[in-house]
Amino acid sequence: MSAPSCGDIRTDTAPGAAFYRSDAAWTLARERVFVPSWQWLGHLGEVAATQTLAPRTLLPGSLDEPLLLARDAQGTLRCLSNVCTHRANLLVAAPCSAPHIRCGYHGRRFGLDGTVQASPGFTAQDGFPAPTDHLPQPAFGTWAGQGFASLSPATPLADWLAPVEQRCGALPGLQALRPAPARDADHVVQAHWAVVVENYLDGLHIPFIHPGLNTAIDMGHYRYELFPGACLQLALAREGEVAFAPPTDGPDAGLRVAAYYWWLFPNLMLNIYPWGISVNVVLPESPERTTVQFRSLVWDEALLGQGAGGDLQRVQDEDAAVMQAVQLGLRARLWRPGRYAAQHESGIHHFHRLLKAALGEI
């Protein structure tokens, strides 16, 4: 993914209200922004063993593509369509162990590589099986024990994740992440998905909306770094707050980093704290409804509840209230799109430029 041509943050204005309220704009974004995107499929612990299966849904609420993670007897992990190629029945409903995949509707059987092995009623049929009878495989890859898939990727997974890997790939514990289901939550926000992303990319609001978080990080040294398909908000810790000790040969050597706040276009946030990663996935459902999935991946339980990654529920509640107020404000007849605060809103401006590259003017 290449960055769109540069606008001027000092003079540009934000998108108008029509983008956030239009069904047509929302549908266009689904096809042009999300179909070519990489989406997080979660931790791969459920398919760590051979001959295991785990269903996934790619972007529930908008794309709703049924997928299936399958690790075969040789240990190869694949991502397959979870839809039978005969009559479109869903194949696997829950994680399980099995030597093959069998459709419960008409008995068609697939190997764990997605190829048809048997199909009652088709034994004497010429030209069967054809390539279309095997289960399709979307683009798939892994990073730090997590799975990612795309229906039609605009960029290779390694390129999309490169800024995160280059900056944080050497952090201790990254290869030992463990899910913490008791900390997981889904939050419905009555706002457009882009409002949710904009709020995440906006550090300017922290002192006003998040008093608790503001006491943990040093806003005087808060900074933004832009990449072709990503934005990093680097938050340094105040004195006495828990922090990383970054690698001595990296760009953050000597800094007391409270959090790496990564946003990856269009809808993934990886909040890397000293205790692990809080994954936020923004799920568009309509122009005025979004679900945000919060998933915790822990490497140091002793640090949970401390520092910038401490009271995340309170931060989410504070964000939800203001995002919903913004969505109401977008209905106002007297409102006109405003300018960007150049010092603090480079991430939001970058997000809007990427949207314009995908959609045209917004």
Count other Cβ atoms within 10 Å, centred on residue 300: 15
Describe the crossing of helices 346-359 and 193-200 by its angle, rounded to 10 degrees.
150
Strand 139-143 and strand 257-264: the pairing is unpaired
Distance from the first to the final alpha carbon of the chain = 19
The pLDDT score that the predictor gives to residue 246 is 81
Whether residue 5 has pLDDT greater than 50: no
The pLDDT score that the predictor gives to residue 2 is 39
The pLDDT score that the predictor gives to residue 3 is 40
Whether residue 6 has pLDDT greater than 70: no
Cβ–Cβ < 8 Å for 337, 16: yes
- My answer on whether 108 and 206 are in the same domain is no
Residues 175-184: tens digit of each pLDDT: 899 999 999 9
What is the chain's mean pLDDT, rounded?
A: 93
Strand 230-236 and strand 146-150: the pairing is unpaired
* CATH number of the CATH domain containing 350: 3.90.380.10
The pLDDT score that the predictor gives to residue 1 is 39
Whether residue 353 has pLDDT greater than 90: yes
The pLDDT score that the predictor gives to residue 350 is 97
The pLDDT score that the predictor gives to residue 4 is 41
The pLDDT score that the predictor gives to residue 325 is 96
β-bridge partners, 236? 257
- My answer on whether 126 and 177 are in the same domain is no
Residues 209-250: tens digit of each pLDDT: 988 888 888 888 999 999 999 999 999 999 998 998 887 888
CA distances from 248 to 224, 252, 259 (A): 21, 8, 17
- My answer on whether 172 and 78 are in the same domain is no
β-bridge partners, 277? 272, 297
- My answer on whether 227 and 260 are in the same domain is yes
- My answer on whether 64 and 168 are in the same domain is no
> Distance between CA 261 and CA 150 in Å, rounded?
23
Is residue 6 assigned to a domain? no
Tokens 């706002």 belong to which residue?
A: 191
- My answer on whether 226 and 301 are in the same domain is yes
* CATH number of the CATH domain containing 100: 2.102.10.10
- My answer on whether 253 and 348 are in the same domain is yes
> Distance between CA 161 and CA 143 in Å, rounded?
8
Of the three residues 126, 146, 166, the one that is the final residue of a domain is: 146
Residue 3 DSSP class: P
Cβ–Cβ < 8 Å for 132, 122: no
Q: Which domain holds residue 81?
A: 39-146
CA distances from 140 to 41, 68, 137, 149 (A): 10, 11, 8, 4
Strand 96-97 and strand 52-58: the pairing is antiparallel
> Distance between CA 310 and CA 307 in Å, rounded?
5
- My answer on whether 44 and 30 are in the same domain is no
Whether residue 336 has pLDDT greater than 50: yes
Counting the structural domains of the chain, the total is 2
Collapsing DSSP to helix, strand or coil, 257 comes out as strand
Whether residue 21 has pLDDT greater than 60: yes
* Mean pLDDT, residues 140-159 taken together: 97
